Amino acid sequence: MSTWREHPLCASPTPWPARFWGPERLDPTAWRELAGRLVIDDEVARLCAVLAGADRIVDVGGGTGLLTQALAAQVAPVTIVEPSAEQRAHLPPGLTAIAGRAEAVPLPDASADAAIATWVLQYCDDPAQAVRELARLARRRVAIVQAAPDNQLVDIYNAEAAVAGLPPAHHGWLLALAAETLGAVGFAIELTRVRAPVRVAPAEADAVADTLARLHFAGHPALPAMRAATAPLIAGFARDGALIDDGVLLLARRPR
Ligand SMILES: C[S@@+](CC[C@H](N)C(=O)[O-])C[C@H]1O[C@@H](n2cnc3c(N)ncnc32)[C@H](O)[C@@H]1O
């Protein structure tokens, strides 16, 4: 971690964690509510560009297939590996999905030209093992997206986690872990920023506070306190009609 933690896209005002704070939990119903607000054009364009020429892609934690649909249409056939039956049930028609977890993907070595995991590592029991699996699957390229240092959805998650008495998230820690893990097995790494706004009007702050609290803490007894803590934060962030949900794209290429 020593070198990568110095990278500006791994920095964050949150102190560097001594260990992984997760796994975070994700509620599929709240995820679908949020997904309708995501503007993913830049992320799709950047992933399509870096994966151009792939013959097959494995999308680990493909969720409801938002990104996958675009990749399958514009780049190559995609196999989604997704543990949640509810997420798999909401895939658009025509996408292939198998049940499985990032830490032990039920596919052979070198299954695809490219293996990707976007906004997934924070949900894994063992993120380093998940990254090793991506390296095992990919003949040429691994792409990972995690949150940028100024990502406001992470700020909101951290406010909720504080209410629950849990440690804050730090996506730079995950990116540095992934870069170090992939670098150790010979990949060349580059990190770039991806724009990903979430459409929210200030008047929607209470509704979005509810969605975001349930996204990671569905059923938690402190949900009302989480909403009370984050609604003013969201109203302030959303003054221009959107929250910053920017990401960092980690592209790892195997030397030829
Ligand atoms: C925030 S969503 C991201 C979905 C998609 N990759 C995207 O960028 O739109 C995270 C996804 O990771 C899945 N997930 C959770 N734990 C996982 C694990 N251990 N292995 C693989 N996927 C996991 C969740 O079910 C969910 O579909």
| CA nearest ligand 1 atom 8, residue | 118
Which ligand 1 atom is nearest residue 145's CA?
8
What single string gives the DSSP state of each residue in 33-62?
A: HHHTTB--HHHHHHHHHHHTT-S-EEEET-
Which ligand 1 atom is nearest residue 61's CA?
22
Q: What is the pLDDT of residues 120-166, one digit of tens each?
A: 999 999 999 999 999 999 999 999 999 999 999 999 999 999 999 99
Residues in the ligand 1 pocket, defined by CB under 6 Å: 26, 60-63, 66-67, 82-84, 87, 101-103, 118-120, 123-124
Is pLDDT at 1 greater than 60 in this prediction? no
Q: Please return the burial class of 32, using the count of CB atoms within 10 Å of its CB with bins 0-12, 13-18 and 19+.
A: middle
Any idea where the domains of the chain sit in the sequence?
Answer: 4-147+168-197+243-253
| CA 78/CA 56 separation, integer angstroms | 6
Q: What is the pLDDT of residues 20-42, one digit of tens each?
A: 999 999 999 999 999 999 999 99
| CA 204/CA 196 separation, integer angstroms | 19
Q: Which of 26, 118, 134 to mutate to test the pocket of ligand 1 (most atoms within 8 A of CB)?
A: 26
Give the residue carrying structure tokens 């399958």.
Answer: 72
Q: Mean pLDDT in the chain?
A: 97
Q: Which CATH number fits domain 4-147+168-197+243-253: 3.30.750.24, 3.40.50.150, 3.90.180.10, 1.10.10.60?
A: 3.40.50.150
pTM higher than the cut 0.95: yes
| CA nearest ligand 1 atom 25, residue | 84
In this prediction, residue 2 carries a pLDDT of 61
In this prediction, residue 145 carries a pLDDT of 98
| CA nearest ligand 1 atom 22, residue | 61
Q: Which of 25, 34, 123, 142 to mutate to test the pocket of ligand 1 (most atoms within 8 A of CB)?
A: 123
Which ligand 1 atom is nearest residue 84's CA?
25
